[in-house]
Amino acid sequence: MSSAERLTETAGMKTYLSTATLLLMATATGLCAGANYFNQPLLHSIAQSLSISEGLAATTVTLSQVAYALGLLLLVPLGDKFEQRGLVVGLMLLATLGLLVSGYAQNFSMLVVGTLVTGLFSVAAQILVPMAANLSDPARSGRAVGLVMSGLLAGILLARAVAGLLSEVAGWTSVYRITAVLMLLLAALLWALLPRSRTQAPASYAATLRSLASLTVAHPRLRSRALLGGLVFGSVSVLFSSMALLLSGPAYGLSDSQIGLVGLLGVSGVITASLVGHLADRGRGQQVSAIALALLLLGWLGLYLGTGNLWWFLLPLLLLDIALPAVHISNQSVIYQLAPHAKARVNAVYMTGYFIGAASGSALGALAWSLGGWSATCATGLALGALAIIALGYDQRLLQREKQNA
């Protein structure tokens, strides 16, 4: 490891993580996060291969998000207790086991086990994000978070495209087997290149978990931003849980690979992530959040009106792909400033709410699809988006109150 990539102090000067190291962290973050989204374009193939209904196959989307939320609550706070490099690598190795179980699944029960294990331990991604903020120049922490988050978003979005293409070529199980190999390779690189990093005076695990409640109570904007993030991700997850069923149905008749390629539109959100991080560093997070919510609502309206026309489906989808990372990165720029000494725990609180919202949105999307088809699905996504506007209004009032008390 070069000295430029270590966080050291020499004559009172700090050397921060290089861009190359941040890019490696972004890649690892993307692979960890993306591992939970491979199943979304593969639901039809999984259902056929394992002789189950598409509705039952779709439950794996919700299960992966529930497991991820549990990992956020129970494992991510350990980033403020244990040495972070070792913790990240250990979690990635355990996630690899889950990928292998899914990749060799002979029945739905094996797939469920693999999905849960992968979801629980792939929260290594959410330790890397605050790690990037901690080990970067404070004046450019928003940029660092934006860069690593770009990797996370790229992983989520490219996962669908790559999974669809690999499924067409070598079957859906190949997606998980290949990813397991890549996960091992990235874990080895992170172990070799990341500096050791840990909290100076870590508390016990029980005290660390109790502190999550204390942080939540002490910081109203942590609550408001977690609520906002959960509602927005929930709204978009309504689409994620039903999009493959719609696109593979008679209205569009797309294959796994074609459905996966639709996800490439989300690259626009990845490009937006760095810009949002820059704007957040300049104090523009509230404005970015408001614009993003407007795009979210317009996107859902377009998805409803454009049913049956692929081009009119893609344009609103683009709006949702831009809105989701814009709100998320704005949220993180706020929460990391609330308790700089406890970034991993603050992130754990926020991301737990974020993925509870995602799991709820996936479940509501599957229910809406089964009860009322695409119209009910769009209405559900729009309703969650409207609630997100109320949450942002509440957060704005909290911000104004903080300024008055300052």
pLDDT at position 4, please? 40
Q: How far apart are CA 10 and CA 389, in angstroms?
A: 47
User: 231-268 burial, b for 16+ CB within 10 Å, e for fewer?
Assistant: bbbbbbbbbbbbbbbbbbeeebebbbbbbbbbbebbbb
370 vs 77, 233, 307, CA distance in Å?
37, 21, 17
262 within a domain of the structure (yes/no) = yes
Tokens of 196: 């050791």
Single-letter amino acid, residue 78: L
53 vs 6, 46, 182, 366, CA distance in Å?
51, 9, 31, 13
The domain tally of the chain equals: 1
Tokens of 64: 């992966």
pLDDT tens for each residue of 196-229: 776 665 667 788 788 888 999 999 999 999 999 9
Q: How far apart are CA 405 and CA 402, in angstroms?
A: 5
233 within a domain of the structure (yes/no) = yes
Q: Name the E strands within 105-206.
A: none
Host domain of residue 173: 15-194+204-405
pLDDT at position 270, please? 66
Minimal CA–CA distance to 352: which of 27, 66, 8, 47? 66
What is the full DSSP assignment across 62-112?
HHHHHHHHHHHHHTGGGGGTS-HHHHHHHHHHHHHHHHHHHHT--SHHHHH
84 within a domain of the structure (yes/no) = yes
Global pTM reads 0.74
pLDDT at position 293, please? 95
Residuewise pLDDT in 10s, the chain (406 residues): 443 434 433 334 455 677 788 888 889 999 998 888 888 778 878 888 898 887 788 788 888 888 988 888 888 888 777 888 899 999 999 999 999 999 999 999 999 999 999 999 999 988 888 787 777 666 666 667 777 877 877 787 788 778 878 888 888 889 999 999 999 999 999 998 888 776 665 667 788 788 888 999 999 999 999 999 999 999 998 998 788 778 877 778 787 677 767 766 666 666 666 677 667 667 777 888 999 999 999 999 999 887 777 888 888 988 998 888 889 888 988 888 888 777 778 888 898 888 889 889 988 998 898 898 899 999 999 999 999 999 999 999 999 998 888 6
pLDDT at position 5, please? 39
Minimal CA–CA distance to 132: which of 21, 33, 31, 229? 21
pLDDT at position 33, please? 87
pLDDT at position 39, please? 82
CATH assignment of the domain containing 45: 1.20.1250.20
pLDDT at position 154, please? 79
pLDDT at position 118, please? 94
4 within a domain of the structure (yes/no) = no
42 within a domain of the structure (yes/no) = yes
pLDDT at position 97, please? 96
199 within a domain of the structure (yes/no) = no
2 within a domain of the structure (yes/no) = no
Residue 126 and residue 86 in contact, taking contact as beta carbons nearer than 8 Å: no
Tokens of 242: 């039903």
pLDDT at position 8, please? 37
